[in-house]
Amino acid sequence: MMTREMIINELTNRGYNAIAQDNTKNGVVLEAIVIKTEGSVVAPVIYTEELISRAEKDGLSLEEVVSRVIDTYEAHKDTTFDIAQLTDRDFVLSHIRIGLQKESSEELIKGASELEGIESYLYIGGDMGEDGFSIKLSKDYLKNADVSEVEAWEHAKKNTFADTQIESMAKVLSEMMGIPYTEELEEATPFYVISNTKKVKGASAICDRKHLAEFTEQHHTKKLLVLPSSVHEMIILPYTDDMNIDMFSDMVSQVNATEVAPEERLTDRAYILEF
């Protein structure tokens, strides 16, 4: 069986300075490799578990896998980024966002959410060349950027909620399947996807009470059923008294187990939000 250590050894044999690195995402520890370049402060992180799994499925040799790792590294090694920006006050305030994850023991700046078992946290995100990046924020990080927690949350809410997007599942499916959208299709599929425009870490849009209040008013209801889809999005639908929340919780659990990567899962249950 191929391992991360085997890949690192082969990279070393080919003259690359490769080291192992474990990253925690949403409570899940992911194995990765970082190839260091002299004089560079930024290095691409290459996650190996999925890479190895796909290689074994496709019957790739160690040499072929390492060649793919090198190709990824070579394509991203010249990314330029002013690392000083990461603690620049104006940069932090303009790029700060809210993310959601499973409750954790990580030492981050956290906030409560209305969804039991899910916590909110602050991160800065943006573009780095052709790639995106995100960094979770601690108290020390904000201190170094001369940003208080109060203003950090204020700017994070403003930045995050300015990007809230609620889409009808019926419209999404009609576009995917190339079929005409009709109101009848909407009535038959009363589900809506709430996220951000990039569909990245967009589950935090569920904290946007203003947009959700407008949504509930449009649908003549005071309650919403919320289904955590992943850290990137959630599913909402107008709640009615005949809905079986246990059935929807089972649905969330089954989808998590079969369709959602462990590091992107939230909780295995449905919620009701009142307005």
Picking from 243, 235, 215, the residue whose alpha carbon sits closest to that of residue 169 is 235
Domain count, the chain: 3
Burial class (CB in 10 A: 0-12, 13-18, 19+), 134: middle
In tens digits, the chain (275 residues) has pLDDT values of 899 999 999 999 999 999 999 988 888 889 999 988 776 656 778 899 989 998 888 999 999 999 999 988 887 776 656 677 888 999 999 999 999 999 998 999 998 788 999 999 999 986 544 456 788 999 999 999 999 999 999 999 999 999 999 999 887 777 777 777 777 767 777 899 999 999 999 999 999 999 999 999 999 999 999 999 999 999 999 999 999 999 999 999 999 999 999 999 999 999 999 99
- DSSP annotation string for 157-200: HHHHHTTEEEEEHHHHHHHHHT----HHHHHH---EEEEETT-S
Query: Looking at the structure, do residues 67 and 91 belong to the same domain, yes or no?
Result: no
The DSSP call for residue 108 is: S
Residue where a domain stops, chosen among 25, 59, 76: 76
Query: Other C-beta atoms within 10 Å of 249: how many?
Result: 16
Query: Looking at the structure, do residues 183 and 109 belong to the same domain, yes or no?
Result: no
Give residue 257's domain range.
164-274
Residue where a domain stops, chosen among 119, 145, 161: 161
b/e per residue 142-176 (b: at least 16 CB within 10 A): beebebeeeebbebbbebbbeebebebbbeeebee
> Is pTM, for the whole model, over 0.75?
yes
